[in-house]
């Protein structure tokens, strides 16, 4: 790639990303700032930085991977969630901004209940929920589970990265079968895309199917978790579960069956889609 300055570099990257991304200029800035080890604001303020031959090669390799269908967060090996930087590998799902609604509700509940500090994050993936809770609530103790050993390895790295590894216990296993004891707060962002739908989406084959496939109707794991959770949620505790908006009625029915006396609500995300199921145990 024959380039003379940063602006040309950004324009060239943007052109190569134009067919791959809805935000090619933003992605070009993110990629260049990552390679140079600088903030995006620095890139915009310094239109003509000196680039080494190695940096040019690194950008070329990154662009080749993007053009071969590798998502940008995997190329970078990191992504931001709730203003924290998380290490990522193709073994874990890329965190989505809609999951921040679950975290906001969880943090608000923990702050309103200062004596409730036993938390569980079921299907933790990269550990975004568990690490964020521990980082924002210094006396919280989180148990994070996942069926994937590779995902747990990434989550443990992120806990260490943010200095909260001493307050998060990582447990390998399927949902809550691997756990003993009670929790004041149970969080879960489980796979909820129906199998037939998943196979038609661009994300299929690009992110781990294990973290996306919710079974024939998309509710297989959610149904199982709701059956398991009553024996683990303390009286007065809360369960927060991310859902697909198309599942809102059935998810609420399943929750009311599992917790007949609980206060069950569906909360919309910022886009107005029903995204979060909350169960306040009595």
* CATH superfamily membership of 81-85+91-280: Vaccinia Virus protein VP39 (3.40.50.150)
Q: Where in the chain is the domain with CATH 1.10.8.10?
A: 6-76
Do 67 and 16 touch, CB atoms closer than 8 A?
Answer: yes
Q: What is the pLDDT of residue 194?
A: 96
**HEC profile of 24-60:** HHHHHHHHHHHHHCCCHHHHHHCCCCCCCHHHHHHHH
Q: Say which residue the tokens 């209940």 belong to.
A: 113
Do 94 and 71 touch, CB atoms closer than 8 A?
Answer: yes
Q: What is the pLDDT of residue 8?
A: 66
Q: What is the pLDDT of residue 51?
A: 81
Q: What is the pLDDT of residue 268?
A: 96
6-76 carries CATH number 3.40.190.10: no
Per-residue pLDDT of the chain (282 residues; tens, 9 = 90+): 444 444 567 778 888 898 888 888 899 889 989 998 888 888 878 766 778 899 989 989 999 999 999 999 999 999 999 999 999 999 999 999 999 999 999 999 999 999 999 999 999 999 999 999 999 999 999 999 999 999 999 999 999 999 999 999 999 999 999 999 999 999 999 999 999 999 999 999 999 999 999 999 999 999 999 999 999 999 999 999 999 999 999 999 999 999 999 999 999 998 999 999 999 998
Q: What is the pLDDT of residue 14?
A: 84
Q: What is the pLDDT of residue 171?
A: 97
Give the three-class secondary structure for 209.
helix
How many CA atoms within 13 Å lie on the side-chain side of 143?
19
Q: Where in the chain is the domain with CATH 3.40.50.150?
A: 81-85+91-280
Do 133 and 119 touch, CB atoms closer than 8 A?
Answer: yes
Q: What is the pLDDT of residue 44?
A: 78
- Minimal CA–CA distance to 212: which of 225, 232, 195, 227? 195
């Amino acid at each position: 790639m024959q380039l003379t300055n940063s602006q040309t570099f950004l324009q060239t990257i943007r052109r190569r990303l134009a067919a791959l991304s809805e935000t090619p200029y933003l992605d070009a800035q993110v990629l260049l700032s990552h390679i140079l080890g600088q903030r995006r604001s620095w890139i915009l303020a310094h239109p003509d930085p000196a680039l080494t031959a190695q940096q040019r090669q690194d950008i070329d390799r990154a662009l080749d991977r993007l053009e071969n269908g590798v998502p940008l967060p995997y190329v970078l090996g990191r992504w931001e969630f709730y203003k924290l930087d998380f290490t990522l590998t193709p073994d874990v799902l890329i965190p989505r901004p809609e999951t921040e609604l679950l975290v906001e509700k969880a943090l608000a509940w923990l702050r309103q209940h200062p004596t409730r500090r036993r938390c569980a994050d079921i299907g933790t993936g990269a550990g975004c929920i568990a690490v964020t809770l521990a980082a924002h609530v210094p006396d919280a103790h989180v148990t994070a589970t996942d069926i994937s050993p590779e995902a747990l390895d990434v989550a443990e790295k992120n806990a260490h990265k943010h200095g909260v590894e001493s307050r998060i216990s990582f447990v390998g296993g399927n949902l809550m079968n691997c756990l003993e004891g009670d929790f004041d707060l149970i969080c879960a962002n489980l796979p909820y895309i129906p199998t037939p739908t998943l196979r038609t989406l661009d994300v299929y084959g690009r992110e781990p199917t294990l973290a996306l496939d919710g079974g024939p109707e998309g509710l297989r794991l959610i149904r199982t978790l709701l059956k398991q959770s009553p024996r683990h949620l303390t009286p007065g505790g809360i369960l927060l579960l991310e859902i697909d908006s198309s599942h809102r009625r059935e998810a609420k029915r399943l929750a009311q069956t599992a917790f007949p006396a609980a206060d069950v609500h569906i909360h919309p995300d910022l886009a107005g889609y029903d995204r979060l199921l909350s169960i306040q145990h009595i």
